[in-house]
Amino acid sequence: MNDVTEDCSEYVVTANDVLSGDTVFRTPDEKWVRGIDGAAVLKCEDSGFVALGEAQQDERANIVMGAYLVEVSRETGAIRPVHIRERIRALGPTVRADLAQVAQGFSTSEVVDQ
């Protein structure tokens, strides 16, 4: 069998908090945080789907809604979604840095320039 670990993409589980609507990420200890840097990074889609299945219990418990997997990269040292939509969702909006997750220490260029 081929060892596919080398090519495995990395994922985090994301959802939205039911009460606030905020974007949240699932942590290694199965809680939810607003900052993506607190997210559990999951190697390969398979382990991602396992974690997603567990996260969906929190959907049924009305803690979060709309859980799904987001592909991320750690090339810059930080956890960053690969796709711009997910980067903006995690860190944006890019046009109101004072209101966004970027205000928590991220830079706007991190959101856009990857």
Partner 1 sequence: MNMHVTPEPNMYRYDEFDRNFVDARVAQFRDQVARRLDGSITEDEFKPMRLMNGLYHQLHAYMLRVAVPYGTMSSRQLNVLADIADRYDRGYGHWTTRQNIQFNWIKLEETADILDRLADVEMHAIQTSGNCIRNTTTDAYAGAAADELADPRPVCELIRQWSSLHPEFSYLPRKFKIAITGSPNDRAAVRVHDIGLRMQLNDKGERGWEVLVGGGQGRTPMVAVTVRDWLAEADLLPYLTAIMRVYNLIGRRDNKYKARIKILVHEMGAEAFAAAVEKEFADAPKETVEVDARELARISSYFAPPAWEKLPAFVPEIEEKKLADRGFRQWLAANTAAHKVPGYTIVNASFKPAGGIPGDATSAQMRAVASLADDYSFGEVRVTHAQNLTLAHVRTRDLIQVWEQLKEQGLAEANVGLIGDIISCPGLDYCALATARSIPVAQEISNRFADIKKQHDVGPLKLNISGCINACGHHHVGHIGILGVDKKGKEFYQITLGGSSAENASIGKILGPGFGSEEIADAVETVVDTYLNVREQGEEFLQTYRRLGAAPFKEALYANN
- Please report, as ranges, the residues that interact with partner 1 according to CB under 8 A: 16, 18-23, 59, 61-62, 65-66, 82-85, 88-89, 92-96, 99-100
CB of 33 to partner 1, least distance (A): 15
Q: Which is nearer to partner 1, 26 or 101 (CB)?
A: 101
Q: Which is nearer to partner 1, 43 or 85 (CB)?
A: 85
CB of 106 to partner 1, least distance (A): 14
The single residue listed with the structure tokens 């080398």 is 6
Rounded Cα distance, 32 and 24, in Å: 6
Residue 47's contacts (CB-CB under 8 Å, 6 or more residues apart) are 11
CB of 108 to partner 1, least distance (A): 10
Rounded Cα distance, 46 and 95, in Å: 35
CB atoms within 10 A of CB 113: 9
